[in-house]
Structure 1
Amino acid sequence: MLVDYLSKLFLQLVFYSKPNIEFSEEEIQEYESIISEPNSFLIRYNSRFPKYRFIQYLSLKENFILHGTNNKNIEEFEPRIQTLFNGKITEAVFASKDGIWPVFYAVLDRTKLEHSIRNGCVQIKTGPKFYFFSLSNDDLRKKPWTSGMIYLLPSDCFNKVSNGSIHFDEWICEKPVKPIAKLEVSPRDFYFWTKTTSHKENENIPTTIIKYKLRNLVGVKKSALIHSK
C-alpha cells in the first residue's frame, strides 16, 4: 500500500492525470444515438459536445478497444513486431482501453519525425492514469501534427499486457483484427496536445520523465510573460 501511495505521489508530480469526466444523461443518450446509427462504419460526429469527451465515452464501452493511426483506410489490422512497455518483443495488433493515448498516435505525423518519441499512459493497478508526451526538440519544432483515425476494435480478442502494480494501458491481439467502426480526429481532439513537450535527443529517459511536467509549466510561464508585455 505504501509503495502504491508513493508511486501515485511521484506520478502526480511528474505527469498529468486523466481528466475527471462525468457524463450527463443527455450526453449519454446523444452518444448512444451516434454509436447505434445504422451502416455507419465511419462515425459522423456532429454533436455539440467536444469530440474528446465522446472518445472518452467510447473507451468505457466494454465491447470496444481503441487504436489510433494516421492511416484512414485500414480494413483489417495485421500483427506487427513491436516492443512492449516491459521491453519484450511481440508480434501483435496493439490497442488501448484509454481514450487519450490512442489519439496521440492518430494525430502525430510520423513522416516528419527523425528522432525519438517518448510517451505513455501509466496506471497504478486499477487506479488513476497518468500521461506524458515528449518529442525531440528538432521534431517538435516541425509541428508534426495531422488528422488521423481512431479505430474501434472488438475487445474480446485482446489481452492486457500487464496487471502489475505500475503498468502501461497496453492490450494486444496476436491475430488479424477487423475494425467495427472508425472516427476521424484532428490535433484539437487530442486532450494533451498543448502539453506535448520536447527533449534533447541524447537525453536519458529518466531525465525526460522527471522534467516532463516541469518543462510544460515553464513553457506556460514564458508564454504568459511574453503576452503580458
Structure 2
Amino acid sequence: MGVAEYWLHRVDASKWQFLCHAADRGDLVLHGSGNPGITEFVPRRPPDLTEFGSRHAVFAAADGIWPMFYAILDRDIGEFSMCTGCVPDDGQARYHFSLTAATLARRPWRDGMVYLLPAATFEREDSSAQAASPVPVRPVAKLAVRPTDFPFLHQVHGHHDDELRARAAADPGGFPWHR
C-alpha cells in the first residue's frame, strides 16, 4: 500500500480531498495524465491561448482538483479543444471545465493518474493555480483516479470552437469565455 492509499484508508477521505491536502502543503504540485508509467516529466510547448501556458515547460497545478480533469480526459479520442482553469476567488478556487460540445457528448472519460511533483523548480502563474518548470521533473508519488473520483464530472460544459476562439480574441482577459 502506497502513502496515498494509506492516508486515504486511515482518514476515510476521498481522492480529491487527499490531492487538495497534498497541494495545500505548498511543497508539491500535481500533474494529471492518462499514462500510468511516467518516471520523468520533460518540458514541452503545448498549444495554449495564454502566454504563460504556451511556454516550453513541464506543467502542473498548485491545486488538487484541476489535474484530476487532465487525468480522466481521454485525449486520444480525436481532435477537440478544451478551456479549463482554476482561478483564485476570495480565498476559494473557482473552476471551469469545457470541451468541444461534440467531444463532450461522446463522454471522453478514462481512468488516469495524478502525479505529485516537487514544487521547487516550478513558477506559479499569478492569476491561476497553473505552475511551470523549465527543467525535467521526477514525480515523488502518484495516485490512480477514475472519472467517478472527479467531483465536477457532471459540471463540464460544452462549447463551440469557433465561438470560443472569437470570444478569446475579442477579450483576452475575459476567461472563461464560455458564458
Provide TM-score, normalisation by structure 1: 0.66
Distance of aligned partners of 1:211 and 1:65 in 2 relative to their CA distance in 1, 3 Å threshold: closer
Structure 2 counterparts to residues 146-225 of structure 1, below 5 A: 146-161=110-125, 163=126, 167-204=127-164, 206=167, 209=176, 212=179
Contact 1:79 1:174 in 2 (8 A): yes
Match of residue 76 from structure 1: 40
Q: Distance in 1 between matches of 2:117 and 2:26?
A: 11
Q: Which residue of 1 aligns with 2:19?
A: 55
The answer as to 2:93 corresponding to 1:129 is yes
Q: Which residue of 2 aligns with 1:104?
A: 69
**Retained in 2: the 8 A contact 1:85–1:168?**
no
Q: Pick the structure with greater CA Rg.
A: 1
Larger helix proportion, structure 1 or 2?
1
Give the AA of the match of 1:44: E
Determine helix, strand or coil for the equivalent of 2:95: strand
* Greater Cα offset, 89-98 or 177-186: 89-98
Contact 2:71/2:113 (<8 A) preserved: yes
* Alpha-carbon contact 1:118-1:135 (below 8 Å) kept: yes
8 Å contact kept, 1:187–1:193: yes
Q: Percent of aligned positions with the same letter in both sequences?
A: 36
Paired with 2:162 and 2:136, the residues of 1 have a C-alpha distance of 37
1:94 corresponds to: 59
Which residue of 2 is the match for residue 44 of structure 1?
5
Which blocks of at least 5 consecutive residues in structure 1 are unaligned? 1-36, 213-229
Counterpart residue identity of residue 144, structure 1: P
Deviation per residue, 1:103-161 (Å, 9 max, x gap): 0000000011422111111125x733211111112101111000100101001111113
Aligned-pair Cα RMSD in Å: 2.4
Aligned residues: 168
1:143 corresponds to which letter in structure 2? R
Check the 8 A contact 2:30/2:62 in 1, yes or no: yes
Deviation at 1:84, TM superposition (A): 5.8
CA distance in 1, matches of 2:145, 2:73: 11
8 Å CA contact retained: 1:80, 1:93: yes
Q: Does 1:116 align with 2:81?
A: yes
**Where do 5+ consecutive residues of structure 2 fail to align?**
169-174
